[in-house]
Chain A
Amino acid sequence: MPSSDFLQQVGLPHYLILSAILFVAGMAGVLLRRNAMVILMSVELMLNAVNLSFVAFSHYLGQMDGQVMVFFVMTIAAAEVSVGLAILVSIFKRFKEINIRFFEHLKG
């Protein structure tokens, strides 16, 4: 049971812990889920967790750089999703299958 002032004063650690939990949850999704779509979503979740910690740091350290990083992360996330979804769509069109284990057969 966390102490009461942990509940009372919200500080950097709270945000960090939150983002850590989100990150780990996303990682679990990436590692354990079978649906490629869901895996992509989990990746998004991880990225968001990282963004959160970035913003928290930039807020509490009073520096903008963290927010810039968030900017970049968002851009890269968008790019990654668009390509990933395009690949998934084209594979699904062809094989009617988005189970991650199935992708092992796409060698060569």
Chain B
Amino acid sequence: MSADVFLFWFLAILTLAGGLTTVLVTNPIYSALALAFAMIGVSALFVTLNAYFLAGVQLIVYAGAVTVLFVMVLMMFDLKHEITAFTRGKFTGLVKSGTVALLAGILVGAIAMTSDLFLKISGTPEVALGGGDGTKELGKILFSKYIFGFEALGILLLIVAIGAVALARSKGGTHAKQ
């Protein structure tokens, strides 16, 4: 078992633990922290995939900003353990779980059906990225081929910022009456 294989399994287990905890734990703060854990794990996995820059961005955006926001908001809310953390209705619960199970089965089936193909691919590690981290290539392609999407995202972010501010200022949403 060479180093990188070990690294992969280690990180995979870590990330999975984080993700599952996020979903299963009843205290939202714990699940937020677990989510942060999972995020860090994912970014580490990015590193194992030579996507150093993305790993950093992943840390900054998700672990550094998004999840911190979650934690802060939760702390402001100060929620106790929920009495009914999970959906109560028997039937709908069953149906939903069934859906999840179906999706899982389908996904695994898909991967299994095509795994030999993937194994063929995985025989050839990346060449276009020129070995080291492809930060420069990423920048080039981002600003040439995907420039339109990039601009659109910029606009999206602006709108979102404005909307968030507006929501935060409005006293309790649409039902405000004082």
A–B contact with Cβ pairs below 8 Å: the answer is: yes
Give chain A's interface residues, CB within 8 Å of chain B.
Answer: 7-18, 20-29, 31-35, 37-38, 40-42, 44-45, 48-49, 51-52, 55-56, 58-65, 67-68, 70-72, 74-79, 81-83, 85-95, 98-99, 106
Taking the nearest CB of chain A, how far is it from the CB of B35, in angstroms? 5
Let me know if A91 and B173 touch, CB within 8 A. yes
**Separation in Å of the A32 CB from the closest CB of chain B?**
5
Q: Measured between alpha carbons, how far is A8 from B172 in the docked complex, in Å?
A: 55
- B122 with A12: CB separation less than 8 A: yes
B149 touches A72 (CB 8 A): yes
With A44-B67, A82-B160 already in contact, 11 other A-B pairs whose C-beta atoms are closer than 8 Å:
A24-B103, A25-B23, A27-B100, A35-B28, A48-B62, A49-B19, A62-B124, A62-B125, A68-B145, A70-B51, A74-B61
Q: Tell me the bound Cα distance from A16 to B77 in angstroms.
A: 36
B85 touches A34 (CB 8 A): yes
CA distance A35 to B28 in the complex (A): 8
| CB contact between B28 and one of A38, A51, A76 (< 8 Å): that residue | A38
Using A32-B97, A83-B160, A87-B167 as known contacts, say yes or no to A41 and B22 having CB atoms under 8 A apart: yes
Tell me if A's interface is mostly helix, strand, loop or mixed: helix
Q: B5–A89 contact, CB under 8 A?
A: no
Which listed residue (B19, B160, B161) contacts A45, Cβ 8 A?
A: B19
A45 and B54 form a contact (CB under 8 A): no
Contact A81 B16 (CB under 8 A): no
Bound together, the chains give a CA A16 to CA B107 distance in angstroms of: 9
For chain B, residues 138 to 178, give those with C-beta under 8 angstroms from any C-beta of chain A: 138, 141-142, 145-146, 149, 153, 156-157, 160-161, 163-164, 167-168, 170-173, 175-176
Q: Are B118 and A16 in contact (CB under 8 A)?
A: yes
Mark each residue of chain B from 1 to 27: 1 if its CB lies under 8 Å from any CB of chain A, else 0: 100110011001001100110110000
Residue of A nearest to B73 (CB): A85
Residues in A neighbouring B141, C-beta threshold 8 A: 64-65, 68
Knowing A41-B31, A71-B142, A75-B156 are in contact, say whether A89-B73 is a contact too (CB < 8 A). yes
B104 adjacent to A33 (CB under 8 Å): no
List A contacts of B23 (CB < 8 A): 25-26, 28-29, 32-33, 38, 42, 45
Question: What residues on B are CB-neighbors of A34 within 8 Å?
Answer: 82, 84-87
Partner of A90, one of B20, B104, B138, B167: B167
Interface 0/1 of B59-73, CB less than 8 Å to A:
001100111011001
